[in-house]
Structure 1
Amino acid sequence: MRIAVTGSIATDHLMVFPGRFTEQLIAGSLDKVSLSFLVEELEIRRGGVAANIAFGLGRLGLTPFLVGAVGTDFADYQLWLKENGVDTDSVHVSESQHTARFVCTTDADQNQIGSFYAGAMRQARTIDLRPVHERSGGLDLVVVSPNDPEAMVRHTRECVALGLPFAADPSQQLAFMGREEIRALLDHPAYLFTNAYESVLVQEKTGWTEQQLLGRVGVWVTTRGADGVHIERAGLRPVDVPAVPPSGPLEPTGAGDAFRAGFLAATAWGLGLERAAQLGSALATTVLETTGTQPESLDGEKLLARVRSTYGDEAAGELASPMAGTG
């Protein structure tokens, strides 16, 4: 299965604040906030939603086509992605702007305050998907993940025009895009990915009810953190999959991207929605316990063990063959 992943490619600057943000906020004075948090840890990591998803797919044995815009500072990151199975030949390199940056601080309660500098990502709106489709020998799925809003709309319309199945994954861009832009992203995608908050926000922003949205999407996948995954399809019984319990300290950045990678990999292997959500959940928890969004190593046997301990031998057995050699 040939998958193109469009969206952000960025560098993450991740910091840890040992206290609680809420203890620094004073009721009645939130109209004028000027705060500084003394952090104890700083990690500079490779990130960006599209790059994270593509990386996860590559580590699971697929060869995804990454589509996005970066600066000339991308060389080392590009080498890393190529070494991990990602095709980067369709990435646009800007001569004038830096690769996007995400700066995020996480507190003791796993609350986060982040800022995102788009930089070269704004030039993603100039990328044409047709050459990617032709070079790949024919794409089977395009993931439209958070990106420059004009790029997201353009790629969605290109998928429709080319007859390509696509997954709509607007995520954090939902808060910044207007009604017509979001409606354009929901032009009958094969999949819609949201978290619990976004599942409500997408209804509010589009003005469409849950049933109206289900009439426009093939499969609606909603991640609910520790409460697992909820999957809906129009006229069919929902699928609910519990989360894989973590066993160590948590750093939530990138867990949702890892879920999508696992889900899409299992889908590419021809497995059903339940197995896809189970693998996605196992990979998400692995990343949840890792600082950064792209683990330096991925032990396929440990990943299968997590699947087995949470979902049983049958689930692990069905995933064992396609996951052989993962690492």
Structure 2
Amino acid sequence: MTAPRLDVLCIGNAIVDVIADADDRFIEEQGLTKGMMRLIDDREAERLYGVMGPGVEQSGGSAGNTAAGLAALGCKTGYIGQVADDQLGAIYQHDVESLGVDFIVPARADVGATARCLILVTPDAQRTMNTFLGAAQMLDKEDIDPAEVAAAGIVYLEGYLWDPPVPRAAMEKAIDAAHAAGRKVAFTLSDTFCVDRHRDGFWQLLNDGKVDILFGNEAEIASMAEESDLDAAIAKVAAAVPMLVVTRSENGATAIAGGERADVPAEPIERLIDTTGAGDLFAAGFLAGQAWGRNLHDSLKLGAIAAAEVIQHYGARPEANLKELAGGLLA
């Protein structure tokens, strides 16, 4: 097997994030469920954008955030996500490439508008996300080049992209191409709503051996297993996948692989500002560790460091030097 050109190739929804402060009253008035993500159409996107407060705009999307974190840690990283040939699409591609990420799929003029996510952050740092998928849901399987997939040591996929049928077919093609080349496939459950909608499909992926590394938080794993007891849920899911990674907010994180279990505490922080991207950056740190041959504990530690950095400021992209924060873990 030839050495990979990329450490990690991320595939996901290419979404421009608009992040703004909001209070609980505003969330209630808008009929939203705090802390959850919902899909919206273009009309609702325009309406909500018009009534929410001033926001910070930046390229995002779950796998896009992970790609940015990987690049910040020094990994050779690629990204596949569909944008439109419009202003937001150009901004998204320029932003990703400026981080050192190889942006692989070109913009298209026949896919509507570039996706955006309106993120409302309440004083308790919870984020309520309202996502217009737009062009992101038009990622076609023809855009997946098996040679590009084979050039990555790990291919990382986000569960959010599983919802529309067109990108789902693209993801399935990427999974098959990765395994045909002897590469690993990592998959994140993304959100409990994704699990609730696609539990059977996700279980089919695990049972068919399509996923090598599975990421989920406590709620997602409990939903996946349909177990109220977290330990029972973790045990059930861990039995179906070679490596399971569970993020546990202030309680740290757990990884289980080949009968080995590792646990790390959450990294100390000065102030919790915004949890947007915490799971995405955790995945970046953990995948960096795995790409560089680190053990479970050190990979979890890298994930915890990256997640702790991103929750201390607005936005899902690291602002501090992650390499410096990681210290000897990258040596």
Per the shorter chain, which TM-score range?
A: 0.7 to 0.9
CA spacing shift, 1:295–1:195, aligned 2, 3 Å: same
CA spacing shift, 1:92–1:50, aligned 2, 3 Å: farther
The equivalent of 1:280 in structure 2 is 303
The equivalent of 1:11 in structure 2 is 16
Of the three residues 111, 115, 132, the one matched with 1:96 is: 111
Would the aligned equivalents of 2:309 and 2:320 in 1 still touch at CA under 8 Å?
A: no
Code of the residue aligned with 2:253 in structure 1: it is V
Would the aligned equivalents of 2:119 and 2:129 in 1 still touch at CA under 8 Å?
A: yes
Code of the residue aligned with 1:279 in structure 2: it is L
Identify the range of structure 1 (168-177 vs 104-113) with the bigger mean alpha-carbon deviation: 168-177
Would the aligned equivalents of 2:79 and 2:102 in 1 still touch at CA under 8 Å?
A: yes
Would the aligned equivalents of 1:153 and 1:185 in 2 still touch at CA under 8 Å?
A: no
What secondary structure, in the 3-state scheme, does the structure 1 residue paired with 2:294 have?
A: coil
Matched, 1:214 2:238: yes
TM-score when normalising by structure 1: 0.79
The equivalent of 1:66 in structure 2 is 79
TM-score when normalising by structure 2: 0.78
Of the three residues 136, 139, 147, the one matched with 2:161 is: 147
The equivalent of 2:200 in structure 1 is 180
Q: String of CA shifts for 1:132-180, please: whole Å, max 9, x gaps.
A: x414663321111121533245424542364342012121252453343
Query: 1:83 deviation in Å?
Result: 1.9
Code of the residue aligned with 2:155 in structure 1: it is V
Q: String of CA shifts for 1:229-268, please: whole Å, max 9, x gaps.
A: 011235x242111011211341111111111111111111
Of the three residues 52, 60, 74, the one matched with 1:47 is: 60
Matched residues in 2 for 1:45 and 1:55: separation?
12
Of the three residues 217, 220, 236, the one matched with 1:198 is: 220
Greater C-alpha Rg? 1
The equivalent of 2:134 in structure 1 is 119
Code of the residue aligned with 1:147 in structure 2: it is L
Matched residues in 1 for 2:265 and 2:97: separation?
33
Of the three residues 212, 232, 241, the one matched with 2:256 is: 232
Of the three residues 167, 170, 176, the one matched with 2:189 is: 170
Of the three residues 252, 257, 262, the one matched with 2:275 is: 252
The equivalent of 1:77 in structure 2 is 92
Identify the range of structure 1 (287-296 vs 116-125) with the bigger mean alpha-carbon deviation: 287-296
Query: 1:68 deviation in Å?
Result: 1.5
What 5-or-longer segments of structure 2 have no aligned partner? 32-47
Would the aligned equivalents of 2:10 and 2:67 in 1 still touch at CA under 8 Å?
A: yes
CA spacing shift, 1:25–1:120, aligned 2, 3 Å: closer
Code of the residue aligned with 1:180 in structure 2: it is D
Code of the residue aligned with 1:171 in structure 2: it is S
Instruction: Give the number of aligned pairs.
Output: 294
Would the aligned equivalents of 2:77 and 2:102 in 1 still touch at CA under 8 Å?
A: yes
The equivalent of 1:86 in structure 2 is 101
CA spacing shift, 1:242–1:249, aligned 2, 3 Å: closer
Query: 1:184 deviation in Å?
Result: 3.4
Code of the residue aligned with 1:7 in structure 2: it is G
Would the aligned equivalents of 2:17 and 2:59 in 1 still touch at CA under 8 Å?
A: yes
Matched residues in 1 for 2:153 and 2:314: separation?
32
Matched residues in 2 for 1:292 and 1:320: separation?
25
Structure 1 runs of 4+ aligned residues shifted over 4 Å read: 18-26, 36-41, 208-212
Matched residues in 1 for 2:142 and 2:84: separation?
15
Matched residues in 1 for 2:142 and 2:107: separation?
7
Query: 1:21 deviation in Å?
Result: 6.7
- Identity value in percent: 27
Query: 1:40 deviation in Å?
Result: 5.8
Identify the range of structure 1 (150-159 vs 40-49) with the bigger mean alpha-carbon deviation: 150-159
What secondary structure, in the 3-state scheme, does the structure 1 residue paired with 2:17 have?
A: strand
Would the aligned equivalents of 1:143 and 1:166 in 2 still touch at CA under 8 Å?
A: yes
Query: 1:270 deviation in Å?
Result: 1.2
Matched residues in 2 for 1:155 and 1:40: separation?
35
